[in-house]
Structure 1
Amino acid sequence: MSFKDKIIKERLPNHLAIIMDGNGRWAKMRGEHRIIGHQNGVEAVRQTVEGAAELGISYLTLYAFSTENWNRPQDEILGLMSLLVEAIENETPTLMKNNVRLKAIGDLESLPEEVREKLQGTIDNTAKNTGLTLVLALSYSSRWEIMNAVGKIAEKVHSGDLAPEDVNESIFESHLTTSGIPDPELMIRTSGENRISNFLLWQLAYSELYFTDLFWPDFTKEELYKALLNYQSRERRFGKTSEQLNDN
């Protein structure tokens, strides 16, 4: 029996976030260049998007490229950017077929012009789709996002458009790049690393965390189902006691 058959559809997370880690190490173990790992990671992305869409999950956020990744070797960065353009072009028809809407978060202006153009084209083409919303975190880091939001709020306070006493969680969240996107209930990270690496620090405050030793290219639909089943075995209390939840 597949893990999928055990999943309770009514208890799925509305928003699933994933740190796709381990492409480089996957390639190194096979004596290949790191970019080969990234190429093989595309299939894991395809399976995960399809799996999430088939289950009816509303939002899937994938940590594709962090601001810190710009410090990697230049040949790897160029390879990643080229792969990103190719993947966007190749996967757009599949997104349309599966009614998937694409969005992107992060410091998108720092991306190469060709990547921005291809990305925006697919975002525009899929804008009217009503199924899964696929969010790509590109040139993203949570500290950058938080500082960017603080700067925008400070400008509004300085100009008199916003009173300091009116700044609250809702105002702050409206200035994040994830504005309008619900917080993830579950975050998955592959490759055996047990940290969140500057990813959605504000949004993951009450998320369940799931870590697997698998490298990202080995992450399949069945592994996705396994993680979701694990999530459904947990009790989400949000500061309350089990007794309080049961009473409700």
Structure 2
Amino acid sequence: MPDLLHSLYTRRLRRQVMAGPLPGHVGLIMDGNRRWARAMGLTDPGVGHRRGAEHVEEVLSWCQALGVQHVSVFVCSTENLQRRDDAEVAYLMALIEQVVADRLTVPDPHWQVHLAGLIDALPESTARALKGAVEATRTCATGATVTLAVGYGGRQEVVEALRELMYTRADAGASLTEVADSLTVESIEPHLYTAGRPHPDLVIRTSGEKRLSNFLLWQSAYSELYFCDAYWPAFRELDFLRAVRSFAARQRRYGG
């Protein structure tokens, strides 16, 4: 009976959400894989990482069902790669390669894959798999995009964008003073990893933590934020719909 009630409530909530304003772009900070594994009595954090990675496909299907056209997923940060032990990082990279190959690089894909992060600093096989997914989905005609943030940091992204902007202007003969005098938000935007794609309307973080952790700092300046207590592997469609319902109930002020 609890499962039936849960299913009925989820269906009802889905109808309610579909009737209201929906986010065009959802950012996902999928946190809590290792803690989920511990809570399940598992000693191997890799089990949590695998369950979390495989869960991305399911969450993308929920976004697709609502008509959300753009999704950005925080897969791992530069800090994750630096602070985790070598064995865990190697397992995570292999898992990313497998999930990208099996779940995203498919015939007639719904999602066009984009990347954000220092991809060339990743292991060669991981970088190759990620770039292969970009190429394999390049002709996707749905207009839906999924951005995978791997080896990503928001501060680093801004630094890289400014560096690229300065190099580009210097190659065109501009002086440092001229670059500084002409610097605007609009001039920086084309040099971000996410250039050409809309900023997230809603950013969801799982696991109960209430911070962005260096995720899309520039792009999330006016995003609505939603924090969910569930660990990412246990994040249900019901939790997702509640986040979207919360978004629909807010009056967006864009800095006001």
CA contact 1:47–1:220 (8 Å) conserved in 2: no
State the alpha-carbon separation in 1 of the partners of residues 19 and 134 from structure 2. 28
Q: Which residue of 2 aligns with 1:206?
A: 222
Q: Partner of 1:13: helix, strand, or coil?
A: coil
Residues 1:28 and 2:49 aligned together:
no
CA contact 1:101–1:134 (8 Å) conserved in 2: yes
Structure 1 segments unaligned to the other structure (5+ residues): 241-248
Quote the RMSD (CA, aligned, Å): 1.6
State the alpha-carbon separation in 2 of the partners of residues 204 and 147 from structure 1. 16
Residues 1:223 and 2:239 aligned together:
yes
State the alpha-carbon separation in 1 of the partners of residues 50 and 255 from structure 2. 42
Question: How many aligned residue pairs are there?
Answer: 239
Q: Which residue of 1 aligns with 2:200?
A: 184
Q: Which residue of 1 aligns with 2:15?
A: 5
Structure 1 residues 129-154: Cα deviation after superposition (integer angstroms, max 9, x where no partner): 13321110010001110111111222
Q: Partner of 1:7: helix, strand, or coil?
A: helix
Q: Which residue of 2 aligns with 1:246?
A: none
1:143 to 141, 144, 155: 155
Q: Percent identity?
A: 33
1:102 to 94, 108, 113: 113
Matches within 5 A, 1:12-91: 12-29=22-39, 30-70=41-81, 71-91=83-103
TM-score, length-normalised on structure 2?
A: 0.88
The change in CA–CA distance for 1:9 and 1:169 in structure 2 (over 3 A counts) is farther
Q: 1:9 Cα shift?
A: 5.3
2:189 to 155, 166, 173: 173
Q: 1:120 Cα shift?
A: 1.5
State the alpha-carbon separation in 1 of the partners of residues 63 and 85 from structure 2. 33
Q: Which residue of 2 aligns with 1:129?
A: 140
Q: 1:52 Cα shift?
A: 0.7
State the alpha-carbon separation in 1 of the partners of residues 225 and 167 from structure 2. 35
State the alpha-carbon separation in 1 of the partners of residues 199 and 77 from structure 2. 19
CA contact 2:54–2:99 (8 Å) conserved in 1: no
Q: Partner of 2:15: helix, strand, or coil?
A: helix
Q: Which residue of 1 aligns with 2:5?
A: none
Q: 1:161 Cα shift?
A: 4.4
Q: 1:155 Cα shift?
A: 2.2
TM-score, length-normalised on structure 1?
A: 0.91
CA contact 1:191–1:213 (8 Å) conserved in 2: yes
State the alpha-carbon separation in 2 of the partners of residues 44 and 77 from structure 1. 19
